[in-house]
Amino acid sequence: MGNRGMEDLIPLVNKLQDAFSYIGQACNLDLPQIAVVGGQSAGKSSVLENFVGRDFLPRGSGIVTRRPLVLQLISATAEWAEFLHCKGKKFTDFDEVRQEIEAETDRAVGANKGISPIPINLRVYSPHVLNLTLIDLPGITKVPVGDQPVDIEQQIRDMIMQFITRESCLILAVTPANSDLANSDALKLAKDVDPQGLRTIGVITKLDLMDEGTDAREVLENKLLPLRRGYIGVVNRSQKDIDGKKDIKAALEAERKFFLSHPAYRHVAEKMGTPRLQRVLNEQLTNHIRDTLPAFRSKLQSQLLALDKEAEEYRGYRPDDPSRKTKQLLQMVQQFSVDFEKRIEGSGDQVDTVELSGGAKINRIFHERFPFELVKMECDEKEMRREISYAIKNIHGIRTGLFTPDMAFEAIVKKQVMQLKGPCVKCVDMVIQELINTVRQCSNKLECFPMLQEETERIVTTHIRDREGRAKDQVLLLIDIQLSYINTNHEDFIGFANAQQRTSQSNKSQSSAVNQVIRKGWLTINNISIMKGGAKEYWFVLTAESLSWFKDDEEKEKKYMLPLDNLKVRDVEKSFLSSKHIFCIFNTESRNVYKDNRTLELACDSQEDVDSWKSSLLRAGVYPEKVMAVESESTAATENFSMDPQLERKVETIRNLVDSYMAIVNKCIRDLMPKTIMHLMINNVKDFINAELLAQLYSAGDQNTLMDESQEQAQRRDEVLRTHQALKEALAIIGDISTTTFTVPMPPPVDNSWVGGAGGRRSPPSSPTSSRRMSSGQRPAPRGAPPPPNRPGPLGPFNNTAESPQAPSRPNRAPPSIPSRRPPPSPTRQAPP
């Protein structure tokens, strides 16, 4: 025989499972665990077996349950059992299940009453159960026996607390009727973890074993020692019945006859017994299921709303319709054009907050990377002077010149201008790479049509490569134009007369920008020793004359200020274990830069940040280190070279003239390069996409082939339509469940302070005997509980929940068939506050 109440819940849960299986999701109801807690020989295992409807737990004297038994009930079409420690072995005979539990317990703790917190995991598959977890826990004992440790009581309490502290665990506090209820350890433990009584149900066993002339009527009526969910009395099989193989069905029938025939319980017989306990637990399961429905419904509705628009587009969709393919091709190309333009020109929708891309990255190339590449081409000062002196001497030849030759100036200038070709070509390459990346990003929206995506990328990339050659030719033409004529009459050129004044003028212009803030940001100082805390991140502020860093971006606590005089920048090879990119600042005169450090190593998260900081340092006059190809030879030549005062003046004059003219050229190139690339490449590519891409696609091949869907897209369409329909059906099923089930309200709170626990007081009755005696005169009322009233009416106390201990007790009339032998309480007595 199974648990009938549980069987009624199975179709309800199956509906939910079906609803979620349609949409490929798990229906995680997280049904509560049910833990049976009580003292030794209180009847816990029998209560558990009656709930499951199977006889499979060990029996005997003393501590029978010596390890926690975690029983997982799993709904299935057939009935069998499996142990976690016996994987693959199925038990169809539940007598063998009981024997295996006993054997596994003995293997772990021996046969001499020892206990272990390691649980035995048993799974029972049956068509008569729900997916639940039931826990049979060792009985609470006071005195160790056999080889049990001296702290056996504390060990068992800790073991029980591991399970009942979970909020999803229902607690069946089992107490035998022939013991003192006010001293129940099960109720005390339940009160410790569930002070409001929301998860605790009192279970009174062994009602048939009470002394003659006594009963537990007032306890079961929840009047004497009230609990919020009240008490349920059960009558389990005796040891004789178990030895005689009395089945559970016959035991339940005998239990019902006991309550109907007992004069103290017949008026509450419908509220007692194992079926009632099953019904209360199943009501709790139903409540839990209904409580989870709103969250499920909200989740499904949000998913349905997200799919509505896409499902509407796919509804009535015909993949082979030529008109649909033509329309969709036009829409795709138009969308590609709009996306490309937005990425280049910038847009407020779909903003990338992770990294720079498209137009923002090209802007950075124009105004940070390209100027940085130009400055890197500048040669070392000593090397420049040596080249100028050689040029002057070679121009004069065998003669000693009296005047500074302008041919030396032109030779040096042309050499410097020729070196600009490398940075200019590199700038074009960087812009082309970013354009190609942008095309790929925009074509991702075409991935549902693989042929169209591939052909679009091919056509646009080919056009970009075609424009690359023209752009580079034009850029090199700009350099050749600069080489063709050295315009010494330019308005910004200082001329020979003013060459000597250039140094003082540059110093004045530099001093005017002393307080200008060039950049702020976070950097990590990488070369701080571990003894001093290791690498740390600081807030850096770069001005025209110093580099300062602070504790944070509030700039209140300055850590250090580093003057920029005689500083240069060089790259540092990335560490194998470090994810950061590093560069360092050093002093050209080999002095310490920061405290005892010859260099200041600074780390960024990306190479782009490193390049950006280098560009900012260039603006502040901190140049990158010049790496000479033949360093030893050039150094030796420089050291052996000497100049007379007259030659030195000529070199200084031409040096200033070259600086002045190259500043004009650099300014011109930095202005023309972005304009040239924009005109010949970026704007041209945009116009090509808008005007010619569609025609190129039509001429590239068969339109039907281009618009063939990918297999993933076809699956996606079918999945969206199926999921959309399944969500509607799931919501309908949840609505049916909501209307076909009802929630049993939680009983109102009662004064359960008589139970020992957190903050509670413990006031047991005067004696165990008097607390149970019902027919030998009036029973003394315990402290902290209301005085005992007369017997209630035929419907019993369960029709209007437990009587509040704060209300004055009122005498009730006894049913005519059960004469009351107790004198009524004094009408003046009041319940204690």
Q: Which residue has the higher pLDDT, 715 or 96?
A: 96
Phi, psi of 584 (to 5 degrees): -135, 155
Residue 580 has pLDDT above 80, yes or no: yes
Per residue in 401-447, pLDDT (tens digit) is 656 667 877 888 888 899 899 999 999 999 999 999 999 988 888 88
Distance CA 664, CA 474 (A): 20
What's the average model confidence in pLDDT over 326-333? 84
Exposed e or buried b per residue across 249-259, where buried means at least 16 C-beta atoms within 10 angstroms of its C-beta: eebbeebbebb
Whether the Cβ atoms of residue 783 and residue 760 lie closer than 8 Å to each other: no
For the stretch 636-692, pLDDT in tens is: 444 445 556 666 777 777 777 888 888 899 889 999 999 999 999 999 999 999 999
Q: What pLDDT, on a 0 to 100 scale, did the predictor assign at position 786?
A: 44
- Cα separation, 774 vs 778, whole angstroms: 7
Q: How far is Cα 129 from Cα 245, in angstroms, rounded to an integer? A: 23
Strand ranges for 77-196 from DSSP E: 80-83, 120-126, 132-136, 169-176
CB 37 within 8 A of CB 186: yes
Both tokens of 22, joined, read 């349609």
Please list the helix, strand and coil fractions of the chain in percent, rounded to the nearest 5, in that order. Answer: 50, 10, 40
The larger pLDDT score, comparing residue 829 to residue 670, is at: 670
- Distance, in Å, from the CA atom of 98 to the CA atom of 90, rounded to the nearest integer, reads 13
What are the C-alpha distances in Å from 88 to residues 65, 130, 476, 692? 25, 22, 78, 68
Cα-Cα-Cα-Cα dihedral of 489, 493, 496, 497, to 10°?
100
Length of the chain: 833
For residues 136 and 37, give the distance between their C-alpha atoms in angstroms, rounded to a whole number. Answer: 8
What rounded mean pLDDT belongs to the chain? Answer: 75
Q: How far apart are CA 100 and CA 142, in angstroms?
A: 28
Read off the pLDDT of residues 204-218 as tens digits, 9 standing for 90 and up: 988 888 888 888 888
Residue 169 β-bridge partners: 33
DSSP 357-374: -THHHHHHIIIIIHHHHH
Beta bridge partners of 72: 123, 133
114 vs 275 pLDDT, higher one = 275
Report the amino acid identity of residue 113: K
CB under 8 Å to 665, separation ≥6 — which residues?
413, 416, 417, 420, 482
Closest CA to 756 of 144, 48, 190: 190
Distance, CA of 54 to CA of 537 (rounded, Å): 67
More confident residue, 775 or 142: 142
Which range of 12-26, 38-52, 395-409 scores highest in mean pLDDT? It is 38-52
pLDDT in tens, 751-810: 766 665 444 444 444 433 334 433 333 344 443 444 444 444 333 333 333 333 343 444
Phi, psi of 58 (to 5 degrees): -65, 155
Asked if residues 195 and 759 have their Cβ atoms less than 8 Å apart, the reply is: yes
Per-residue pLDDT, 394 = 77
CA distances from 82 to 72, 90, 101, 258, 296 (A): 10, 5, 11, 36, 32
pLDDT higher than 90, residue 108: no
Beta bridge partners of 36: 136, 172
Predicted pLDDT at 213: 81
Please report, in angstroms and rounded to a whole number, the separation of the first and last CA atoms in the chain. Answer: 47
570 beta partners: 584
